[in-house]
Chain A
């Protein structure tokens, strides 16, 4: 099953600055981002009747309603999987609108993830429920948890950490020309990457890791019909999908037959192509949620942008650069711009379709934003 295509649109985007110490509450970051997105759309808080975020956001819906001045919400939901569910927020919003449960849905994500609770720090005991199989053996950070999966990919295709570095260099190059990026005007070389310290040997170095950021991002979604009368050129939700499968696990994705594949992402890609009638060759620009650089390699292959094991050469050949066949993470990604759990990447996909991105891909008609087990395809009206 899939959503009917082109029935809904992203009509507003808004964000705070991205920093390491916002100096204000997470609720304030959320409220500021939502207000900015509504202003961008030309809508008022009273127009909002739906709210969507994903798990692990500390901001309660009612407190956000009270802060922003939303009068009544008839749809509120949160998607699972932490960051992996980032893009299914758009699916939730679109489904609510198509079903008639809501008309104007705000998606938000707001964190003090550097100055407050840091996700990247080692977990302290006791073991969380269901984690006894992994944390007692030292898998106490996301970097370690994911790296045990990534190592299977490296082994299969003979990659070294230097191959991952070539992605990090591209992300930082894109961030370097994005004034909103934390790493604005701070590109790196492959030597810089290779001399950064190991986070998990022999898989990821410091410069392969997403940032820890403070900031908030919000999006406004409504019907394609209403979108035609708002302030911005509508960016249509061509397709939105998520996938969870029997052998899957979010943090400990070790139980699929082949460690060098990402089956959930392949299933999401299949849904997108089927729902839209588009194919990988139609995608002009892609935002790929990269908690760590190796995930970009899995996703380029899962979406069919290159064949199995070919991501290394695809990236080395410059195909994900601004001048390549598939520019990736033109805002600098979660490595270079900020880590607002991928919602900042949806925002960049919207800017690309509006043709207002600082690193604009000429003539962009189709943009993909993917977080592995969830994704959205956006197109011009």
Chain B
């Protein structure tokens, strides 16, 4: 199953531009500081339209995970999908590398990494150094 490419638009192009540079950016309101992810055009806290990208460390904790593979058809390498609570940012969905389903994935400490699959650059996570 080929990777479905992200489709950047007005409201999230900053994020994918950051991924291309190996930086994890979230959207913070320039007026009240509210961080909004997934991003929206208007700040839901103060209705501002002014945003600034904020770089986050990419360190966080796995809240939930699944093994993603097609149940009946031949497939590419199964991917682990994780929902991560960033230490200094919002929640982010991405794939987990450097671990398999035999790990205790819930509550695992992770850090961001960047990968290229089928020519598409994506953010991902890997076990944080020192995590087992």
A binds B: yes
Chain B residues proximal to chain A, CB less than 8 Å: 1-9, 12, 16, 37-38, 44, 63-72, 79, 81, 83, 90-95, 101, 106, 120, 122
Verify A202–B67 contact, CB threshold 8 A.
yes
Q: How far is the CB of A92 from chain B (nearest CB, A)?
A: 26
Whether A206 sits at the interface, judged by CB under 8 Å, is yes
Please measure, in the bound complex, the distance between the C-alpha atom of A203 and the C-alpha atom of B65, giving whole angstroms.
10
Q: Which residues of the partner chain B approach A197 to less than 8 Å between Cβ atoms? A: 71-72
Verify B1–A201 contact, CB threshold 8 A.
no
Whether A254 sits at the interface, judged by CB under 8 Å, is yes
Cβ 8 A contact of A148, one of B3, B16, B64, B90: B64
Whether A157 sits at the interface, judged by CB under 8 Å, is no
Verify A135–B4 contact, CB threshold 8 A.
yes
Q: Which residues of the partner chain A approach B6 to less than 8 Å between Cβ atoms? A: 127, 132, 136
Cβ 8 A contact of A144, one of B4, B37, B68, B83: B68
The binding surface of chain A is classed by DSSP as loop
Chain B: CB-nearest residue to A149: B64
The binding surface of chain B is classed by DSSP as loop
The digit string for A169-202, where 1 denotes a CB below 8 A from any CB of B, is: 0000000000000000000000000000111111
Q: Which residues of the partner chain A approach B122 to less than 8 Å between Cβ atoms? A: 136-137
- In this complex, the member of B12, B63, B92, B94 whose beta carbon has the largest number of chain A beta carbons within 10 angstroms is B63
Please measure, in the bound complex, the distance between the C-alpha atom of A351 and the C-alpha atom of B16, giving whole angstroms.
52
Verify B66–A140 contact, CB threshold 8 A.
no
Q: How far is the CB of A114 from chain B (nearest CB, A)?
A: 16
Interface members, chain A 98-152 (any B CB < 8 Å): 122-140, 144, 147-149, 151-152
Q: How far is the CB of A211 from chain B (nearest CB, A)?
A: 15
Size bracket, chain A contacts:
35 or more
Q: How far is the CB of A24 from chain B (nearest CB, A)?
A: 28
Verify A137–B93 contact, CB threshold 8 A.
yes
Verify B5–A125 contact, CB threshold 8 A.
yes
Please measure, in the bound complex, the distance between the C-alpha atom of A200 and the C-alpha atom of B16, giving whole angstroms.
28
A139 in contact with B91 given A126-B5, A152-B83 (CB within 8 Å): no
Q: What are 26 A-B contacts defined by CB distance under 8 Å? A: A127-B6, A128-B7, A131-B7, A133-B12, A136-B6, A136-B120, A136-B122, A137-B81, A137-B93, A139-B68, A139-B93, A147-B66, A148-B66, A149-B64, A151-B106, A152-B63, A197-B71, A197-B72, A200-B67, A200-B68, A200-B71, A254-B83, A254-B91, A254-B93, A255-B91, A259-B63
Verify B64–A259 contact, CB threshold 8 A.
yes
Verify A127–B83 contact, CB threshold 8 A.
no
Q: Which 6 interchain pairs have the tightest Cβ spacing?
A: A138-B68, A132-B6, A152-B64, A151-B64, A125-B4, A127-B7
Verify B93–A124 contact, CB threshold 8 A.
no
Verify B8–A151 contact, CB threshold 8 A.
no
Verify B5–A127 contact, CB threshold 8 A.
yes
Please measure, in the bound complex, the distance between the C-alpha atom of A113 and the C-alpha atom of B70, giving whole angstroms.
20
